[in-house]
A and B are shown apart, each in its own frame.
Chain A
Amino acid sequence: MEQEEIIQIRDLHREFLVGSETVHALNGVSFSIRRGEFVSIMGTSGSGKSTLLNILGCLDKPSSGEYIINGTSVNSLNRNQLSTLRNRQIGFVFQNYNLLARTSAIDNVQLPLMYNSEISAKERKERAIAALEAVKLTGRMNHLPNQLSGGQQQRVAIARAIVNDPVIILADEATGNLDTRTSYEIMTLFQELHSKGKTIAFVTHEPDIATFTTRTIKLRDGQIVLDEMNNQCSAAEALAEYEKNMKHTMI
């Protein structure tokens, strides 16, 4: 089944001026992401994956090349239009969760909708509750971030990323701060979201995390060196396996 390409990138370049030297962080990157794909973007540090993610997230603009998200060419947009685009089309999940301190889980999840004046307070709350249900945190809606574990905080962050029903969820090392077990749990959650039709781009440097996705794009020195489909492993199974092993070691 041929799916619509929601992300199209053609010959993307991004250069930074460091002192008097020009650094080519991205050097002619082209690929597309179809609706419903679960893509992992891999690469060592300095490979350009963060730069790529910033451009995908409309936080940064390419020096040259074209980026079209959901039919909109990003190059021609100004700062305010980019903000609106991020607000409606993109969901971010960060390595360090980036939740507002001393703010309840539900208020954290509502945050993106606060910047959308078309959504009423009532609808905002309903959607936040639905998002928290989707990440299985219904019982902890009024907890503050410091009352939640790392995994739970990341779940709140994921709920925040899906609350505006984005066309793509961008996760930046979303399991980087978590232990193996919790990482598997979070990946299970991502797989569930994926199975419900969400498009996800997942930046990581851990190969085993990448195996839970459907496609891997590998970057080196600002260029794509590998772009292949995966035999997706089930994170839930990996979790069960891991727990069994843990029991063995304990015995």
Chain B
Amino acid sequence: MLHMKNVSKVYRTEIVETHALADLTVHVGRGEFVAVMGPSGSGKTTFLNVAGLLDTFQRGEYLLDGTDVRRMRDSAMSRIRNRKIGFVFQGFNLMPDLDVFDNVDVPLRYRRLPARERRERIERALEQVGLSSRMRHYPSQLSGGQQQRVAIARVLAGDPALILADEPTGNLDSVMSHEILDLLERINEGGTTIIMVTHSAECAAHAHRQIHLRDGRMVEVDEPPSLVRGREPGLAPGLG
């Protein structure tokens, strides 16, 4: 699903260069649930941004679902983000002046789907996250856990092959966190690849394997055997 080889990303200012990603090589197979861990400043979010085509990189090779994204035009990247990738953010990132229905509708609008199909997808996604009854509520009327479930419904409605989650439980209490992680696990069981950035070892334990980053490099791959399930046979577990 995702193949990065020797990818480098450098942030430059007039006085300093920061190597956010330094020759990072990562392979994530289709249907995997991978946790990306590391201390602050290790390049986790940069990795996620590059992986999600939200940011560019200077060197290296990146194949997403077999497509080389290196020299892709903005419109093509937008199309891939819209059709193949779903984002779950720590801060939920719902539009405050759109109700739940319209928030879930956002990626579908950019896919230019007919109204009827959009409605069906939205209703189905909200049903999956258990928020069918809150369709006309605004984000401010929902709890943190509910907001994150709306954000996940927004992803589900688009039916992406890859979900990138950046600290999805970072703003939630432990009960809500479990709910969200269970939800992500269920989604993964349906075949969707998930890459989740987290600080929490407890959260990471829900993943098939963990990738540890430091200074923009992969330093460790940890694969708890007890949690590995349903992976496609023959997929490389880590370094490519």
B partners with A: no
Binding site for B on A (CB under 8 A): none
Query: Which B residues are closer than 8 A to A by beta carbons?
Result: none
